Chains A and B, each alone.
Chain A
Amino acid sequence: GENVEQHPSTLSVQEGDSAVIKCTYSDSASNYFPWYKQELGKGPQLIIDIRSNVGEKKDQRIAVTLNKTAKHFSLHITETQPEDSAVYFCAANDGSGNTGKLIFGQGTTLQVKP
């Protein structure tokens, strides 16, 4: 089955700096790669996603890149703000279509220092 590895586990940056979180996946049939932000005591919130037919996607300060050959995808947050502090999870579907299960990475705790 699918296995998703996420790094780093913790990341501390100064406000205004960029933050990058990286994930690798194992199932070459995976075609959907979402990123979630989770605040304490809440469910995950989708912040951006990318499908396998696209190499990069951007939404304001957030971007995701995908390298299908290497089975890597990364989250880039520019101009970080204290409210970006949270736990971020990458995920990949198991390749069985739009309703296939999502497998999550281990999570990255991002701290943005004011």
Chain B
Amino acid sequence: GAVVSQHPSWVICKSGTSVKIECRSLDFQATTMFWYRQFPKQSLMLMATSNEGSKATYEQGVEKDKFLINHASLTLSTLTVTSAHPEDSSFYICSASAANYGYTFGSGTRLTVV
């Protein structure tokens, strides 16, 4: 089956620094990747949608300059949280999608900003 690898699984960073999270589709080419954020005991909230080679589409209320998304190839998308603050602490999850593959989710990244 389709496999999506997300790294790191957890990261702790100091306030004001930037953190990069990687999402890779291992056995298929993902035409679209999605980034979600999940706070404790809440649902997955879509942050942005990215297509290979084009700019990401951000959901309303998500700061595109703070959450930089790069989808340079059909198998890799990255999310960079810039100038992180404690309120950015959350569980970030990516999902990769392609025709005939549906949606496959990564294992998530727990970000803690101290």
Contacts and interface: CB of A to CB of B under 8 A. Distances in A.
Given A104-B44, A106-B43, A44 B93 contact: yes
Q: Interface range on chain B: under 10, 10 to 19, 20 to 34, or 35 or more?
A: 20 to 34
Summarize B's interface: helix, strand, loop or mixed. strand
Given A41-B110, A99-B32, A99-B98, A105 B43 contact: yes
Q: Interface range on chain A: under 10, 10 to 19, 20 to 34, or 35 or more?
A: 20 to 34
B102 A46 contact: yes
Contacts of A42: 107-108
Interface in B67-114: 91, 93, 95, 97-100, 102-108, 110
Interface of B: 6, 31-32, 34, 42-46, 49, 91, 93, 95, 97-100, 102-108, 110
A101 B97 CA distance: 9
16 contacts: A34-B102, A42-B107, A42-B108, A43-B6, A43-B93, A43-B106, A46-B104, A46-B105, A49-B102, A98-B98, A101-B34, A102-B34, A102-B46, A102-B95, A103-B46, A106-B42
Contacts of B49: 101
Nearest to B101: A98
